[in-house]
């Protein structure tokens, strides 16, 4: 690999002023341990282009790369230290829980290319998904309805509906059975 050939100038998330204003908003409102109300955080996300549902809880020290590539449904919980590294679209359904330290990663690099090209892939978390503490969802992954990614696991492929997945890479362990 020759990193002197790396060029991601084709990638444009937004105009520079918007990115800079968001950077400081993210640092002082989201990536802080101060107990800033979730309702205020939701308003800020919406102001920057995110689509956010009702009754969303956003805990302290959350990092969101670009809110204009983010959709969050109703009744979602985003735990402490969650990182939504959304260079591409992240869509979060209703009643989704992102536990402490969960990481949603939409970008990577092509290790087969000498220039280490940037690659992007969307993430979709359907209704009722639970991403466990310190778990990672990789680019181009869909976690289907009510699937679970266990603590510290890495989803490199889609998770099927009502499946519980564990490990690195995450593999199906058993069905998720919900009781009333």
Q: Delimit the domains of the chain by residue range.
A: 15-171
**Cβ(162)–Cβ(147) under 8 Å?**
yes
**Mean pLDDT (whole number) for 43-51:** 98
Tokens of 11: 């990638």
Topology at the third CATH level for domain 15-171: UDP N-Acetylglucosamine Acyltransferase; domain 1 (2.160.10)
Tokens of 67: 């809110």
**Mean pLDDT (whole number) for 120-128:** 98
Q: What is the pTM of this model?
A: 0.95
What integer pLDDT is reported at residue 108 of this predicted model? 95
Indicate whether 88 pLDDT > 90: yes
What integer pLDDT is reported at residue 55 of this predicted model? 98
pLDDT band at 180 (very low <50, low <70, confident <90, very high): confident
Q: What is the DSSP string of 20-54?
A: HHHHHHIIIIISSSS---HHHHHHHHHHTT-EE-S
Tokens of 79: 């735990």
Tens of pLDDT, residues 89-110 = 999 999 999 999 999 999 999 9
Tens of pLDDT, residues 137-176 = 999 999 999 999 999 999 999 999 999 999 999 999 999 9
Measure Cα distances from 72 to 77, 79, 99, 170 in Å: 10, 14, 15, 24
Beta-sheet strand order (sheet of 123-125): 51-52, 70-72, 90-92, 123-125, 141-143
């Amino acid at each position: 690999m020759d990193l002197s050939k790396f060029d991601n100038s084709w990638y444009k998330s937004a105009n520079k002023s918007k990115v800079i204003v968001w950077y400081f908003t993210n640092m002082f409102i989201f990536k802080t341990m101060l107990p800033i109300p979730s309702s205020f955080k939701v308003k800020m996300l919406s102001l920057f282009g995110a689509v956010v549902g009702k009754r969303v809880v956003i805990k302290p020290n959350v990092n969101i790369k670009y809110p204009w590539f983010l959709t969050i449904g109703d009744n979602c919980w985003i735990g402490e230290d969650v990182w939504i590294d959304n260079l591409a679209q992240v869509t979060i359904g209703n009643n989704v829980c992102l536990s402490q330290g969960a990481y949603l990663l939409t970008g990577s690099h092509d290790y087969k290319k000498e220039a280490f090209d940037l690659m992007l892939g969307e993430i979709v978390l359907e209704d009722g998904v639970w991403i466990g503490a310190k778990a990672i969802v990789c680019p181009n992954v869909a976690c289907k309805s009510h699937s679970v990614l266990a603590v510290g696991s890495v989803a490199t492929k889609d998770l099927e509906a009502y499946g519980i997945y564990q490990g690195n890479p995450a593999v199906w362990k058993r069905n998720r059975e919900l009781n009333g």
